[in-house]
Structure 1
């Protein structure tokens, strides 16, 4: 018999049990973030196998109860994670996925609405900015209750690349990307620090070359990482799984954090009616606040270019 938990009991439902959904389930279980993890997928036999495989390793690692369910199990979820949708193919952009995955998402949202009681909805499927906006529109919840993973993985890749370049741990590098989770992502160089010191000042002090050419190379490497991984192994799933754990912990265990995630903007930087990533406070009610800060003029231009790009694609999928 399935356990019956009350509201606020650290229940996470994951819709889609492919590589991404299963990796998220595994990472959540290892981190012992949730008390209850429900996996939902149209391929129930495979999902049963994934759930059992994860459960068998938990006695010595965690206490999460993992089982396969259906949409009725969305009831009383503190967090619903949507990974359903087809994957990006080799050589394909995230935006190429738009039409197919918007249709899939619409079906998923209608199924969730039948049983939704409360909780945050986190969209992982790509193109995440477009799908986040549509899910937010269809769910009709208070702003921030529906949000997307956005640039959190891009930011992680960015920090990793910068740390490798300067030869230090990622723990001392603080920076992020904003805008679209895709080709229009924007590194916010003006806010990049090493141990709290602006990176240009740090590099000058320790004798590390830091100029526009270096920044361009880091930005290009970061942007291509997803496509490079897909070319090498066919898909990406581990990186996003660990990033989702960071967000899930903030939501389910009430440990607010700041991350560059995608949500429908409400006038920040003069932008409305589009979902893009900006540094945001993420907590039990989802995106609780979007941080308004000043960027350099080139960074603003890149961000507004991303706004227009995503708006144009929203028009296409909504027509």
Structure 2
């Protein structure tokens, strides 16, 4: 076999006792830098059965058909997740870099899909509310439409609420502690006395929402929109409001101690009696804002 210059000639392989038949082209062309391509390049003497003409490789043969099919077609096999690990091990042994990359891409996509997989539907949520099962702590509800539902007092703490649609929902006294609600829509929702401590609300829409006395301490509110929202007596200590839009918002009596307000839009906002002591307001847009009675002692402007 090693003296045959015809690259399309048949090659018989014995992979751990399992027999295969293929060609030199198949073994060398798709992955020219692989160990298989080097073995069958004609430059090496191989272990060959002189009677039956099989080249022996001491590997598990049950997955070698996937290796051959990849070399023939360039298509990553469709397998159960547990089998991908076994095929990956063989691909690494044979140094098939294209197949290795393909398997990793599939496994990463599966992981992403699982992370984004919604565990419940809108109907499930309604059934839970009706049966008084109102705790969704740590549940993945990404992308659900929960608009206009009565979700008052529901505990969503630690849940994944990315891009959830809460528009016009009643969320009075609901708990959102440490939730990931990036991109969520709370437009015109009732969020009075809600707890958002440590929540990720980056890019969330809360325009027109009622957030009176809501607790948003340590929350990430970067790029979020609170236009015309009611934040009277809200707790915003140490909240990150970088690039947030609070134009026309009512922040009367709100506590913004330690809040980050870099490039925050507070135009025409009502900040009467708000606590802004030692807050850095240098990069904040305050045109038309009402600051009567606000505590601005030590604030940088």
TM-score range, shorter chain: under 0.3
Kindly indicate which of the two structures has a greater share of residues assigned to helix.
Answer: 1
TM-score by length of 1: 0.23
Larger relative CO (CA 8 A, sep 6+): 1 or 2?
A: 1
Instruction: Mark the structure with the bigger radius of gyration.
Output: 2
TM-score by length of 2: 0.24
Kindly indicate which of the two structures has a greater share of residues assigned to strand.
Answer: 1
